[in-house]
Structure 1
Amino acid sequence: MTTKTLTYLGPEGTFTHQAALTAADRLAPVLGERPRVVPADDVPAIMRAVESGASWGVIAWENNVEGYVVPNLDALIDASDAAGFARVGVDVAFDAFVRLPAGDAGRPDPADYAGAKVSAHPHGLAQCRRFVDGHRLRPEPAASNAAACRDLRPGDVALGPSLCGPLYGLTTLAAGVQDFDGARTEFLVLVPRAEATRLLAAARDGGEAEYETIVTFIPLSTGPGVLADLFDVLRDAGLNMTSFISRPIKGHDGTYSFIATIDTAPWQPRFRRVLGEVAEHGDWVKVLAAYPRRERPNPPVDAWMLPEGGVHLVAGGLGQDWRTDARVRKELLW
């Protein structure tokens, strides 16, 4: 039997590589052997490998600092034969690296690199903005954080996971340069759609009971009330929606696809009826992924987490006449 492969965004050392290794460990009991992880140059190559049946794939999906990885989301919406059946999370932290000349064992000083070029994946650059701005570094996006580290030239700076240092012979300029501790990226494991159906059925038969589903809706009629009608259908079915975003249909003003994460499986009777109702209404619908439900914390949003400005009656110390308060009028444009 041929060993199954998991294709990830390379080179070695990316967060996607870490996710692929974690996924391989989790899939070993399912497959009877540990799949082999294989790097790809870009996400389109991963999607081609999955859709052709040559490999399974791992793609970044959502980060709790920068949000959804939009190109990957669009790629999965547009894919003709790929679906997610598992989800893997990786804690995200960044170090800043430099490449010292051979024989130089000194400790580099960040001040010596002020104004230098800094390279990382666009999400990596965004998550290390304070470090980049504080040292007046010049951002240059790379295909991945690991690629930035692999291709780093003397005099420049790269941002990436700590394992990139020993992997690519780099010296740490500064550790933990991310803006936010506790950052995490979630990844989807992709397979051809028929395999997703088979694997999910096997998981159900094995006792897995709770699932999440990522689904895309495209209403074919647009105008007032279309989105409210969709929400009504989900609400009336008693379904819990944990996230909702929209993406424009490229090049067509006023048209959108809507992507929702629902707290149940697509074969569960209530959700199955909803999917059927949407389809019978003439709208387009597609399940992008279904996977065993993760334990999800439900912490409160404390006042210190809120952005600047806005209206919050408790934290703002506003009284009963708050509607006439100048601060409220400013924030609500009354």
Structure 2
Amino acid sequence: MAIGYLGPEGTFTHAAARELRPGADLVALTTQAQAIALVEDGSIEGAVVPVDNTVNGVVLPTWDALLGTTASRIVADTLVPVTFNAYALTGDVVPEVVVSHPHALAQCARYVSSLGVPSRAASSTAEACASLAPGEVAIAAPVCAELYPVATIATKVEDGAGAITQFGVVSRDDVRPTTDRWTTVFAALPERNAPGSLAALLTPLASLGCNLENIVARPLRGSVDYVFLLFVTDLDQDREASALDSLRAQCSGLSVLGRLAAAKHSRPDGASGIPARLAPVRS
């Protein structure tokens, strides 16, 4: 059966799909919601989707789509280095608009600002090249120079070296990583919306020696309540089971959305990334 990915050809997701499922029949799809829905109903065997990015954080459309399923989860993942070039239909373009995926625009903010023109969001970096119009500048992966009739007008336009995007394979199979340790992503709905309810979720995890790498709150439609995505690291099968037991005691709803084995590292350029207003005060 086919493996879906966010197309068209030339996206970073396409590159990740070729790495994660070499030799598979790859099918270009439009959105994470579409790809994950096709996995859920059995139309395709799996789908490769972005899950996290070192510049823009977790990819919310992926996790929101997973929250709408009952059987699908992330079963494998990989890290793809991200670098961008700028393209136009002709090399002598006078820029009027810069177009790319919102995450790419964020990762190339200085270059985008230097053009001094409005930006337009595209569904993917490759789609930015595929739909390029006169006067537009697309920001996309280097491979797009081979796949689309565009001229390269600048290379390595990202703000800093070392950015990576984490991609995962969504499947209906419940497969654990082959590594000794991994990150489990829990979707947790507290029993009640009350002071201390979130602390009640997290305190038992700390007592188990689990590290909470990230927490993301997603609002419930038509409610003032939230579901929390808990990225809990350094787990194995036994520690994950213990974490599930501790969370279940505090939740009205609990599910595993996926397991991530690839280890992210700090950027090699030495930039701390600490926002200016949070930087240590020097006396």
Return the index of the structure with the highest Cα Rg: 1
Note the alpha carbon deviations across 1:114-158, whole angstroms, 9 max, x for none: 4x1121111112222211211112211111111110111222111
Match of 2:204 in 1: 233
Q: 5 Å matches for 1:304-323?
A: 305-310=273-278, 312=280, 316=282, 318=283
1:54 is paired with a residue of what secondary structure? coil
Under a length normalisation based on structure 2, what TM-score does the superposition of the two structures give?
A: 0.91
Change (3 A) 1:81 1:41: same
1:289 is paired with a residue of what secondary structure? strand
Match of 1:294 in 2: 262
Tell me if 1:51 matches 2:40.
Answer: yes
Q: Given residue 49 of structure 1, which amino acid in structure 2 is its aligned partner?
A: L
- For 1:299 and 1:125, locate their aligned partners in 2 and report how far apart those are by CA, in whole Å: 19
Q: 5 Å matches for 1:58-77?
A: 58-77=48-67
The match for 1:9 among 6, 10, 28 is 6
2:74 is paired with a residue of what secondary structure? strand
- For 2:199 and 2:59, locate their aligned partners in 1 and report how far apart those are by CA, in whole Å: 26
Q: 5 Å matches for 1:28-39?
A: 34-39=23-28
The Cα of 1:306 is off from its aligned counterpart by 2.8
8 Å CA contact 1:145–1:160 kept in 2: the answer is: yes
- For 2:248 and 2:192, locate their aligned partners in 1 and report how far apart those are by CA, in whole Å: 13
The Cα of 1:281 is off from its aligned counterpart by 3.9
CA-atom RMSD in angstroms: 2.4
Match of 1:322 in 2: none
- For 2:66 and 2:256, locate their aligned partners in 1 and report how far apart those are by CA, in whole Å: 10
Change (3 A) 1:297 1:132: closer
8 Å CA contact 1:113–1:135 kept in 2: the answer is: no
Identity value in percent: 30
Greater fraction strand: 2
- For 1:43 and 1:134, locate their aligned partners in 2 and report how far apart those are by CA, in whole Å: 31
Q: Given residue 309 of structure 1, which amino acid in structure 2 is its aligned partner?
A: R
2:242 is paired with a residue of what secondary structure? helix
2:186 is paired with a residue of what secondary structure? strand
- For 2:263 and 2:140, locate their aligned partners in 1 and report how far apart those are by CA, in whole Å: 28
The Cα of 1:299 is off from its aligned counterpart by 8.6
The match for 2:29 among 40, 43, 48 is 40
The Cα of 1:67 is off from its aligned counterpart by 0.6
- For 2:101 and 2:135, locate their aligned partners in 1 and report how far apart those are by CA, in whole Å: 19
Greater fraction helix: 1
- For 1:310 and 1:163, locate their aligned partners in 2 and report how far apart those are by CA, in whole Å: 38
The Cα of 1:99 is off from its aligned counterpart by 0.8
Match of 2:227 in 1: 257
Note the alpha carbon deviations across 1:197-241, whole angstroms, 9 max, x for none: 2x43xx66xxx4322211111103012111111111101222222
Tell me if 1:170 matches 2:155.
Answer: no
Change (3 A) 1:51 1:225: same
Q: Given residue 229 of structure 2, which amino acid in structure 1 is its aligned partner?
A: I
Match of 1:93 in 2: 83
The Cα of 1:307 is off from its aligned counterpart by 2.2
**Unmatched runs of 5 consecutive residues or more in structure 1:** 26-33, 101-107, 319-334
Runs of 4+ with deviation above 6 angstroms: none
- For 1:78 and 1:84, locate their aligned partners in 2 and report how far apart those are by CA, in whole Å: 14
- For 1:43 and 1:180, locate their aligned partners in 2 and report how far apart those are by CA, in whole Å: 27
The match for 1:19 among 13, 16, 37 is 16
Tell me if 1:222 matches 2:193.
Answer: yes
- For 1:232 and 1:281, locate their aligned partners in 2 and report how far apart those are by CA, in whole Å: 11
Match of 1:82 in 2: 72
Match of 1:181 in 2: 161
2:168 is paired with a residue of what secondary structure? strand
- For 1:67 and 1:304, locate their aligned partners in 2 and report how far apart those are by CA, in whole Å: 15
Q: Given residue 203 of structure 2, which amino acid in structure 1 is its aligned partner?
A: D
